[in-house]
Amino acid sequence: MQTSGHPTGPLDGVKVLDLSRFIAGPLCAQILGDFGAEVVKVERPRGEDSRHHGPYWQGESIYMFLYHRNKQAASLDTRHPEALGILEDLVRWADVVVENYRPGTLEAMGLGYERMRELNDDVILVSISGFGQTGPDSRRALFDAISQASSGLMSMTGEPDGKPTLSGTYIADYTTGYQGAIGAMAALMHRDRTGEGQLVDVASYDTMFSALGTRLIAELMLGLEMPRSGSRDLLTAPVNVYEAADGPIYIQAGTASLFPKLCAVMERDDLAADERFATVEGRMAEQEHLESAIQDWAGSRTCADIAAALDEVGVPYAKVASVKEVAASPQIAARGMVVEAEHPKLGTIRMPANPIHMEKSPPTVRKAPPRVGEDNDHVYRDILGLSADDVERLRAEGAI
């Protein structure tokens, strides 16, 4: 990912109005910005809610460093008498509007999709919500953890005899943000071909449901409910975490070709020759026996020793890395997955890069995540054409 300004990108010329908060919506808009779109983020003068969640760095929430680069920040008090007119002018300017209010909120403000179409007949509205714009649960509030619990994901996660477990990251919000960006880009392609805008309705609940994988198909097609499996694989064995002499390591040797290779490294030809372990079904039935043998072998060796042995025969493995370790890894460095941006007040900001690598039109970091209202003059004077006196008046009235 390049960190210097590019004159063009695949979305160069696309104008995005970001009315969203927290993670999924802001991430969606940031992805569009990474690929060259001009993004204006509008939030209340004290900042959106996520600005007030720690941890903080130089007084700024680290939330802002993750989801708001490549954006122009404008502040607006939506209770001010002129606020609706300002928002309407921004909708007229925009190609894409991103919002993640609870369904019905924009309509109550007088700025629902039908009103947006009156203002801008080919506008694309990306509405990201918990349960979607339709259905009996559409008006329910939802955060990432609620999505994980309600969609079935939490029931799948954790040890078989333990409690359902929350994922270690905001997987529902991230995935929904990605889907919102895909929907926006597909809608832009459709508009290029037909001239038509449209509503893109993306629900966190739907997104997580669609990601349930094998368990979902087993239920839909076979009526089969698969229990939680901890760190084991659902369908093959042996696959699990083992304790090496210096820490945990994950070994994937569940296929017909990988299992005998692991046995050879372990010098356990008896396991490879045992007919009980010749099939996936047989190995699944004897997981505890196989895992005990692998643990005996791994327990007296370091992760590096195990890695060298498995690399030689092509058995997949991974040392279970901490966030600190992976952030400092040579692979992350080689892939350019940590990028820096210079903020005029905060100095150097480090953040994860966009994971999409493209030779001809790569994502770029052109602007550091902004502070509240940092770009008010640009948005209100250059984009909307307000006079300097009007901007100062709005500022004095606390509207921006």
Indicate the domain borders of the chain. Answer: 15-211+330-396, 239-321
- Are 122 and 85 in contact, with CB atoms under 8 Å apart? no
pLDDT of residue 91: 98
Question: Would you tell me how many other CB atoms lie within 10 Å of the CB of residue 312?
Answer: 11
% the chain with pLDDT above 90: 95
- Are 376 and 395 in contact, with CB atoms under 8 Å apart? yes
pLDDT of residue 305: 98
Report the Cα 73 to chain-centroid distance in Å.
21
- Are 246 and 307 in contact, with CB atoms under 8 Å apart? no
Six-digit token string for 229: 């499996």
pLDDT of residue 326: 97
What is d(CA 236, CA 234) in angstroms, rounded to the nearest whole number? 6
Q: Is the dihedral of CA 174, 176, 182, 187 positive or negative?
A: negative
Burial 150-184 (b: 16+ CB within 10 A, else e): bbbbbbbbeeeeeeebbeeebbbbbbbbbbbbebb
pLDDT of residue 342: 94
pLDDT of residue 328: 97
Q: Is 31 exposed, middle or buried (0-12, 13-18, 19+ CB in 10 A)?
A: buried
Beta bridge partners of 57: 60
Looking at residue 371, the DSSP 8-state letter turns out to be: P
Which residue numbers in the chain have pLDDT < 70? 2-7
Beta bridge partners of 242: 249
Give the catalytic positions in this structure.
Answer: 173
- Tens digit of each residue's pLDDT (9 = 90 or more) over 93-107: 999 999 999 999 999
Q: Is the dihedral of CA 358, 362, 363, 368 positive or negative?
A: positive
Domain 239-321 of CATH type 3.30.1540.10: yes
pLDDT of residue 345: 87
15-211+330-396 shares its CATH topology with 239-321: no
pLDDT of residue 344: 87
Beta-strand runs (E) in 130-237:
199-203
Six-digit token string for 253: 């040797």
The angle that helices 171-194 and 144-151 make with each other, rounded to 10 degrees, is: 90
Could you give phi then psi for residue 174, rounded to 5 degrees? -60, -50
Beta bridge partners of 241: 250
Residue with tokens 């529902």: 172
Six-digit token string for 164: 């359902």
- CATH class of residue range 15-211+330-396: alpha beta
- Tens digit of each residue's pLDDT (9 = 90 or more) over 319-348: 999 999 999 999 999 999 999 999 988 999
Q: What angle do CA 35, 41, 43 make, to 5 degrees?
A: 160
Cα-Cα-Cα-Cα dihedral of 375, 377, 379, 384, to 10°?
180
pLDDT of residue 8: 72
- Are 126 and 98 in contact, with CB atoms under 8 Å apart? yes
